[in-house]
Every structure is written in structure tokens, then in C-alpha cells.
Structure 1
Amino acid sequence: MPAFVVVIMCATPAALDEFGGWTALQGHATGFFHTEQIEGQWWLVDPVGNVFFSLGVNAVTFEADVIQGTNRIPYAEACLAKYGSREAWTAAALANLRELGFNTLGSWSGSYTFEQGMPYTIILNIAARAGANWQHGRAADLFSPSLDQAAEKAAAEICAPRRDSQLLIGYFLDNELHWGPDWRAPTTLLEEYLMLPPDAPGRKAALDFLRARHATVEDFSAAWGLSIAEWAALDDVKFAGGNRTPQAWQDSLDFLRLAARRYFEVCNAAIRHHDPNHLILGCREANGFAAEPIAASARGLVDVF
């Protein structure tokens, strides 16, 4: 049985500290949540040095879903009638969560629930600020200065004011980015970047990558099963997924590693500049195709993935 299951089964309220950490197994007290290897096992460790198994609710919020076509939020209306104010609801909600054994507020929780005695996480939406749309599968140009600007703005606005918080566990970078073929879009990131406008930094990065990998445009065309005689002819190619040659797949995976590495480098640098104390929790993933290359690209730049 995994050790963390034993912790949940055996831990009693008396064995938990003020953060929800398990006092029977200790690491180092650093004043912040951190990762630590104890007896060969990696753990989250809370600010006072006790191991911490994060058990959270994704969205603890007074403002739940709105009835489409109206301004009504029935959940908020019911809670306001019962509790009298959002502040009273927040206190009751957190008390209920603690009684049920939860110890973490997820990233879609209302900001008014933070710093109220329960550990929490925040999502920065850095690529989303730079143009990504996770619901529709639109990728941001990860080679554009807009990514650097988005990371700096998010870190300055969100991370800097919280750098000394003991209740903050850490930051998720983004939600379910489109890294490659999935239910939202059938194209790889390399194919999408090749279809960007000619002056887009991502388009230039994609072409530079392919030119460095293939000696001539004829070699590239043959390897990808295309019929082009010059690089400029790619302007007229519209990739739509479907059958790819083995070399096209390999090129796409290797370019993905390159693009993802830049993404994690930019995010890491911005966050660490403004907040050296809290965990970088990677980005929430929903694409099995990209799991290995994304994890490899994130190595050394995130604390948890």
C-alpha cells in the first residue's frame, strides 16, 4: 500500500498541525511549503516541517455558474439568503471543508477564500495571457515576446504580493494547454506554427528548426510526404492532422520539446524573480500525446509536475 494512503487512514486531527501536515513524519521547517526527500520518498512538506498530503477542492467559490442568458447565480442567491454575506459563507465553507478532511483550496477558488487559514494554490494563466485558449485548442506563440511580457505581468501582479505567504503552496502555470493532437485540434504544435503569419516569431522558429534538421527543402519535402520545391511554398500548405510520416512525427516531437523548454524557462525566470519562496507546480495537463516531452522539458524548471 502506498505510504500516502497510510497517512490518510492513520492521521487523526490530533496528529495534524495547523496547516494540515502530519506530525508523525518530519522534514525541515523552512517557513514555506516545499518538496523534500525523506527516507527515499518525495513529500510535500509544510512550513513547520511536517509532511503534507494535499487533499483539496478545485473550486471553492461563492459565485458559481450563471444561468445562461441571465445575470442570476442561484447558488450565490441561496448562500446569501442562508449566511447573510459572502464573508460568513466563506467562514462556514472552510469550516465544513476542514471537518470533511480537506486541507487545500484549489486554483479555481475565489481569492477571498485565500489567506483564511487553509493552504491554497493559484493558477497564473501565463500562456493564456499570451493568447492561448485551452478550451478551443488555440496555442500561444511561445517564441513571441508576448510570452515574456505575460509572464512578467502575472508574476509581478500575483506572485510578488504573496512571496511571504505561509499558506500558499505554489503556482500552476496554465490549464490544459494544447501541445499537440487531441480532441480540440488535430494538429501538432510544429504544424500550427508553420501556419502562423510569416512574421510571427513562432513561424520563424519552426522554419529555422526544419532548415537546421533537413539539408535541403527537397529532403524536407520527401521526409514529410509533401510536394514543395522551396521553403516559401509552405505558405500555401494547410496542415489538418491525419496521416504523418514517421519523420514528421519525430520533427514535431522534437520541436515540441524546444518550444516547451522556452515556455518553462520564461515562466520560471519571471516567477523566481518575484517570488523565490513558493513551489512552481507545472501546468495542468490533459494531453497524453505530450506527456513525456513536456515533462522532460519542464525538468529543473518546476518543482512538481
Structure 2
Amino acid sequence: MNTKSIARRHFLQGGLALGAGLAARSAPTFAQTTEAKTTQIEPEGFFTLGERKGHWWLITPAGEPFFTMGLNHIDPASLRYPENIDIWRKKYGGSTIRWIKESVAPNLMAWGFNTVGWVQEVTVKKWQHSRAFTIDEYRALDMPYCHLLPFTESHQWEKHTVHYDFRSDDWKEWVDYVARSHCAELADERNLIGYFYSDCPTWTHDRPDNKWRGPIFDPERLKTEAGRKELSELATSYYKTTHDAIRRYDKHHLLLGDRYEANAPIAMEVMNAAKPFVDVISFQDFRDPVKHLDEWHEKTGKPVLLADAAGVNFRSNSFFKPNNGEWYAKTLSGLFENPGCIGFHLCGAYQRNKARRRGLLDEMENPDQQHVYQMTAANEQVTQKMARMFHD
């Protein structure tokens, strides 16, 4: 399957092969685009939001509408098992930079993805994710990406960490530290789309593995006016604190916020508190993302992003469980028709490991031909639609 030349040709035709070209042009090319009011203080020359032809889009630094099609979970440790470490050493010289330049970026372009949604990957089930890319690794990638800021460890899959007190001075000091250690370094990067916060925070729900700590806020208290008011105040403090810390160090990039679990209870008090302080409402959804994102766009009036999702047969007895390319194609097409949806990031991973147990490449770098082909075709269809809409 020679998808690389096909994908690259269509991306160039559609104006979506961005990479290093993002910094080269800054004059808007779509004067009819209605710009959104975002939290950005200085958006010019960076990714922002706009509305055109009745649809919300990301707007590139070059001023072009952009529908983000991303892949999540990209970790070179998958090439460092005893059985495949020779590939890492001999083919890439033990260099993450070389691996990104020679494997990751070319394959993503060949498969029609135009974004890296989030690089961190599962290391051990129910434990922390791997580290994020460094700024030099992002620059080696040379394509649009998003970055997660570790403000809180309230992820629904994580079982070890107590909840932070969002009203405490210690937590506010931590938030400022995170912002100045991450955002100050990335503030001028043109390929950066924006920042995520927590992955599926347990605001009013928990999971069996972290039932010991309970949710951030007891959902029983939402039965009273006093409880609803307290959650509104707590969530407002959280989102205002994170917003203000980022904006002290980065005035340019979009705030993509928490990635809510669409299939768990989401209190409107939390959502309403977030809306003034984020630019996009982001979700994880492994069940019915097209339906749910339609609903949340209607409820909030804000652009929505499917930031993490995949079609996987978790009941399969196979140790490795592939991503479902047919599901991906159907979901991507449905989301593209949602006038409020700005993109879809696949819960990959790039290369499977023995914790997540799925990926577009196996440990020996062989692609999952059937499903990768279906995903490539789906990405190409969206790219061609964008080209016809804006470049014909």
C-alpha cells in the first residue's frame, strides 16, 4: 500500500501540509472567516478559532480553516523491548529525534493525519503516562500538535493520587510552576495548537480502582442549591487559576481544557464554570461520540473536540486488540458534519506496547494494513472535502 505519496499530494493541494510552513505565512487567506472570541490575548500568527460556511474550524497561523485529525500516544519505549531494541539502536542510533523525523512524522503524513493530538502513552495499566515530548522533539516532528499540562492527577484511570485542594495556596503555586515550566518554553511555537489539562477528571464520578478517594465533589451534594453553588465556586476557582497561570506565560495559544469523559456524569456547574476560561470543550468517548458531541455543542454553544476515542473490541480474547478502521472512518465522517466539531484525535497508539496493547504499528514496525488503510482513506476524504470547500 503506497499511501505516502497520495496523502502528501492531497495535503499539499488542500493547504493542510503545515509543518514548518506555519511560521512562514501569517496573512489570513480567508477574509470571510468570522473570528471567534477566544481567551487568546495575542492570537495573530498562531492557531485560533473561526467560523466559515456555518461551521467552526481551527484557523491556522496562515489563516486557513483546519480540521484536526490527530493520533495520540507516541512513545519510543515501544521500540526498546528486548526483542526489538536492535531496531532502535541500529536503525535510529538510539535517538528519539531521528525516530521522530524518520518514522513518526513521515508515517503520520502518509496515513493522512495532520496533527499529533497527545504524545503521552500508557506505561503500566492504571499508572502514570509516559513523559511528554521536549520542545526539540516537537520541533523535529514539524507538524501541528497539542500538549497536556499536568495541573491535577484526577484522571479516571489513575488509582494512586489523592485529590488536590483547588482552593489551597500550595495547589495555586503548583499551577504557576506547571505554567512557567511548560508554557513559557512553548509560548512562541507556531505548530502548537493549544493545551489540554486533565485526562477524564473525576469531578462527580469515580471508577472501581479509585473509589477509595471518591470524586472531586460528592454528586449527592448537587441535590441542594448550596451544593450546586459550592461546586460552581470550586470549578470556577480551578478554571480561573489555570487560565490565569497560562496567560502569564503564554498569550498566544488556545486553551483546550480538560478532556471530559462523555459517558460519565458531567455536572453543568463544572461545564459552565469552564466556559469563560477555555476555548474548546474537549471529550473522550468510546461509545457514541458523534451523538454526544452534537449534544454538547448544542448545550454549550462552544466548539467541541473529540480528543481521545477509538473503536476497540475489548471483549476479544486476543492479547493485542486492533483499532477498528471502519469505526474510525464512520466516526470521523459523522464528526465532520457537526458544525461545532473542530476535529478527532484517535486513541492510537502509534506503536503498540504491552500495556495499551494496540497501535498502528506492531513492535517490529509492521503496520496494521487493513485498519491503517481504512483510516488513511477516511482522512483523505476529509482532506479532499476541505480542499473542495476552500480551494476550488
State the TM-score, normalizing by the size of structure 2.
0.53
- State the one-letter code of the partner of 1:118: M
Distance verdict in 2 for CA 1:84–1:140, change over 3 Å: same
Q: For residues 301 and 152 of structure 1, what CA distance do their matches in structure 2 show?
A: 16
Distance verdict in 2 for CA 1:41–1:83, change over 3 Å: same
Q: Does 1:80 align with 2:89?
A: yes
Q: For residues 272 and 79 of structure 2, what CA distance do their matches in structure 1 show?
A: 37
Deviation at 1:77, TM superposition (A): 4.7
Deviation per residue, 1:121-158 (Å, 9 max, x gap): 11111123xxx465127421111112211111111111
Deviation per residue, 1:235-293 (Å, 9 max, x gap): xxxxxx8xx58735x55444322211110000000001110100011111226312533
Q: Does 1:14 align with 2:13?
A: yes
Distance verdict in 2 for CA 1:267–1:75, change over 3 Å: farther
Q: Does 1:282 align with 2:257?
A: yes
Q: For residues 83 and 242 of structure 2, what CA distance do their matches in structure 1 show?
A: 38
Q: For residues 172 and 273 of structure 1, what CA distance do their matches in structure 2 show?
A: 17
Q: Is the 8 A contact 2:152 2:198 kept in 1?
A: yes
Aligned position for 1:57 = 71
Give secondary structure in 1 for the equivalent of 2:61.
coil
Give secondary structure in 2 for the equivalent of 1:121.
strand
Q: For residues 270 and 74 of structure 1, what CA distance do their matches in structure 2 show?
A: 44
Give secondary structure in 2 for the equivalent of 1:122.
strand
Aligned mate of 2:118, from 107, 121, 144: 107
Q: Does 1:37 align with 2:51?
A: yes
Give secondary structure in 2 for the equivalent of 1:178.
coil
Q: For residues 73 and 221 of structure 2, what CA distance do their matches in structure 1 show?
A: 42
Within 5 A, what are the aligned runs for 1:139-150?
139-150=163-174
The structure carrying a bigger strand percent of its residues is 2
- State the one-letter code of the partner of 2:174: A
Give secondary structure in 2 for the equivalent of 1:289.
coil
Give secondary structure in 2 for the equivalent of 1:143.
coil
Aligned position for 2:237 = 262
Aligned position for 2:270 = 294
- State the one-letter code of the partner of 2:169: P
Distance verdict in 2 for CA 1:291–1:45, change over 3 Å: farther
Q: For residues 163 and 149 of structure 1, what CA distance do their matches in structure 2 show?
A: 20
Distance verdict in 2 for CA 1:247–1:19, change over 3 Å: same
Aligned mate of 2:223, from 219, 231, 247: 247
Q: For residues 164 and 98 of structure 1, what CA distance do their matches in structure 2 show?
A: 24
Q: Is the 8 A contact 2:116 2:145 kept in 1?
A: yes
Aligned position for 2:367 = none
Deviation at 1:53, TM superposition (A): 1.0
Q: Does 1:118 align with 2:129?
A: no
Q: For residues 163 and 245 of structure 1, what CA distance do their matches in structure 2 show?
A: 39
User: RMSD across aligned C-alpha pairs, in angstroms?
Assistant: 3.2
Within 5 A, what are the aligned runs for 1:169-208?
169-183=193-207, 184-185=210-211, 187-191=214-218
- State the one-letter code of the partner of 2:276: G
Aligned mate of 1:48, from 62, 65, 70: 62
- State the one-letter code of the partner of 1:247: K
Q: For residues 245 and 165 of structure 1, what CA distance do their matches in structure 2 show?
A: 43
Q: For residues 221 and 188 of structure 2, what CA distance do their matches in structure 1 show?
A: 51
Number of residue-to-residue matches in the alignment: 236
Q: For residues 254 and 153 of structure 1, what CA distance do their matches in structure 2 show?
A: 29
The answer for unaligned runs of 5 or more in structure 1 is 1-7, 67-71, 192-240
Deviation per residue, 1:23-46 (Å, 9 max, x gap): 996647921000112243221011
Deviation per residue, 1:5-31 (Å, 9 max, x gap): xxx9xx65312244279x996647921
Q: For residues 141 and 190 of structure 1, what CA distance do their matches in structure 2 show?
A: 11
Q: For residues 127 and 163 of structure 1, what CA distance do their matches in structure 2 show?
A: 21
The share of aligned pairs that are identical, in percent, is 25
Distance verdict in 2 for CA 1:145–1:40, change over 3 Å: same
Structure of higher CA gyration radius: 1
The answer for unaligned runs of 5 or more in structure 2 is 1-6, 23-27, 36-42, 121-132, 282-392
Q: For residues 295 and 158 of structure 1, what CA distance do their matches in structure 2 show?
A: 25
Aligned mate of 1:91, from 91, 101, 104: 101
Aligned position for 1:216 = none
State the TM-score, normalizing by the size of structure 1.
0.67
Deviation per residue, 1:89-134 (Å, 9 max, x gap): 2112211111111111132253353023111111111123xxx465
Q: Is the 8 A contact 1:139 1:178 kept in 2?
A: no
Q: Is the 8 A contact 1:139 1:177 kept in 2?
A: no
